[in-house]
Amino acid sequence: MRFDGITWFNSLEIRFFDMCADFARNVFEDPQMKKLYAPDSNAKFDVFLTEFLYMPSLYAFAHRYNIPMIALSSLGTAAINEHVFRGVVFPSHESTWEMEASTGPNLPFTKRLSNFLIMWRMMYIFHRDVFPTHQRIAESYLGPLPSMLDIMKNVSAFFIDQSDILTPARPKLANVVTFTSFHISENPDPLPKDLQEFIDDADAGFIYFSLGSNVKSADLPTELRRMFCDVFSKLPYRVVWKFETDLEEKPANVYSSKWFSQQTILAHPKIKLFITQGGLQSTEETIHFGVPVIVFPVIGDQDYQASRVDALGFGKRLEITTVTRDEFESAIQEVITNKEYKERIIRIRSLIRDTPYDLVENLIWWTEYIVRSDGAPHLRSSLATQPWYRYCDMDIVVFLTTVTSFVILTAISLIVRIIASLRKSWPPTVHQKQKIS
């Protein structure tokens, strides 16, 4: 998709919305779930937590059990959620990850106009296609339901995996709770003996290269893989490369495998650099272990993470579809030898860890608070229940525009009439008198 120039929003329309509908059906069809939501089920719960991305039919479980709902997000806030909750949708703001590399603080008017049209077209598609589809899915299993939008608006809190240090500042709703590095283990798994020896014996240190769990290095074009191998073979460092098949023409200083205990590798004292696709969890891990990065974003929020790496200066962003040998080799040498990258990531790690409470304990407190307060309705924005035109004051804008236009047109009409009247009352010129006589 990256090499074909398919954007995140393109991918949503092409396949991801259909995939999400299938995911939702699989949840409803699961035998254990069927027992839980059956009409005669006596299952009871205090709170419902669910990922808030593009599967609103699953939110119907909160209505089925008549319990508060907590939204979860493992990659920042999707614009549709901000829109429904009546937060602020910024098509060109750096925090809007769905726009990928199209955002920034000083964009020209034409770019901002393009972002605006793309974003609001997608909001229209959500309301035209996604919500009605998931309404039908949920009702086919649970019977008649309120609209998915109304159920969604009743969310009690929104837990977002997104460090405030890594996110450009923007307004947040009162029921938004952010956290980070939730998944990082204090005791990572041990490495296989041969891998442990490989990196322990790396006198100059080693580089870790992984494009994550969704993107596969084995799917890269052959020319690009060969270029990576050529560059690695000339480095004084050893390379640990997550590669899902047998790596042909593998250099002697490269160790490859289809899976690694990533946190264990990043925690090793001899690591010099992490080459990553820029997924959120990988970004959190590299900051936690203080390892500078080179980022090749591929899809979704990875462009956003890569832009934050660049902006905060603890790594470099490269484009995987156009990167050259010289560019790649230069970036590796720059990030490893320039101590400022290491210093910046340590500084960012210190800021992230400087909190007045344990972030996990804070999520626990908020979850219990939602239960104690019967869903904390006082934290929900009252704007969420208002029509869009009232929320945006569009009725006022239309009224003022109409009145202003009426006043201006009336004034122009009056001026034209006055001028016409004056012209009629002007005395005729000499030439006109002669012509009359």
pLDDT in the model for residue 111: 94
Backbone dihedral angles phi then psi of residue 113, each to the nearest 5 degrees: -65, -45
Same domain, 165 and 228: no
Q: How many CB atoms lie within 10 A of CB 132?
A: 13
Residue 430 lies inside a defined structural domain of this protein: no
At position 359, the amino acid (one-letter code) is: L
Residues 54 and 93 in one domain: yes
Tell me: do 126 and 226 sit in the same domain.
no
- Identify the bridge partners of residue 76 per DSSP, sorted by sequence position: none
Query: Is the per-residue pLDDT at 6 higher than 60?
Result: yes
Residues 87 and 198 in one domain: no
Based on the fold, state whether residues 321 and 225 are members of the same structural domain: yes
Span 190-205, mean pLDDT?
A: 94
pTM, rounded to two decimals: 0.86
97 found inside a domain: yes
As a whole number of Å, the end-to-end CA separation of the chain is 86
Q: Are residues 33 and 156 in the same domain?
A: yes
Length of the chain: 437
CATH number at residue 289: 3.40.50.2000
Cβ atoms 48, 70 nearer than 8 A: yes
Note whether residue 427 is domain-resident. no
- Considering the domain boundaries, does residue 185 fall inside one? no
The residues, ordered by sequence, that sit 6+ positions from 86 with a Cβ below 8 Å of its Cβ are 173, 381, 383, 384, 386, 391
Question: Is pLDDT larger for residue 98 or for residue 186?
Answer: 98
Per the domain annotation, does 35 fall within a domain?
A: yes
Q: Which residues of 205-215 are buried (b: 16+ CB within 10 A; e: fewer)?
A: bbbbbbbbeeb
Q: Which domain holds residue 400?
A: 391-420
| 374 and 339 assigned to the same domain | no
Q: Give the whole-number percent of the chain exceeding pLDDT 90.
A: 73
- Domain membership flag for residue 434: no
Residue showing tokens 């907590």: 70
In angstroms, the CA 437 to CA 426 distance is 18
167 with 243, same domain: the answer is no
The tokens of 325 are what?
A: 């040998």
> Which residues are paired to 254 by β-bridges?
239
Would 64 be classed as within a structural domain?
A: yes
Q: How far apart are CA 331 and CA 341, in angstroms?
A: 12
Q: Does residue 371 surpass a pLDDT of 70?
A: yes
Distance CA 277, CA 257 (A): 17
When divided into structural domains, the chain yields a total of 3
Question: CA nearest 329: which of 318, 321, 313, 339?
Answer: 318
Q: Are residues 367 and 277 in the same domain?
A: no
> Is residue 322 classed as helix, strand or coil in its secondary structure?
coil
Largest CA distance in the chain: 119
On whether both 377 and 413 belong to a single domain, the answer is: no
In whole angstroms, give the CA distance from residue 212 to residue 321.
17
What proportion of the chain, given as a percentage, has pLDDT over 70? Answer: 97
- Residue type at 242 in one-letter notation: K
Average of per-residue pLDDT values in the chain: 92
Residue among 327, 21, 307, 363 at smallest CA distance from 178: 363
Tokens of 24: 């939702």
Token couple for 84: 């429904």
170 and 254 in a single domain? The answer is no
- Per-residue pLDDT at 435: 53
Average pLDDT of the residues in 360-372 = 95
Q: Is 75 contained in some domain? A: yes
Residues 327, 345: one domain?
Answer: yes
Determine what percent of the chain falls in helix, strand and coil, rounding each to the nearest 5. 55, 10, 35
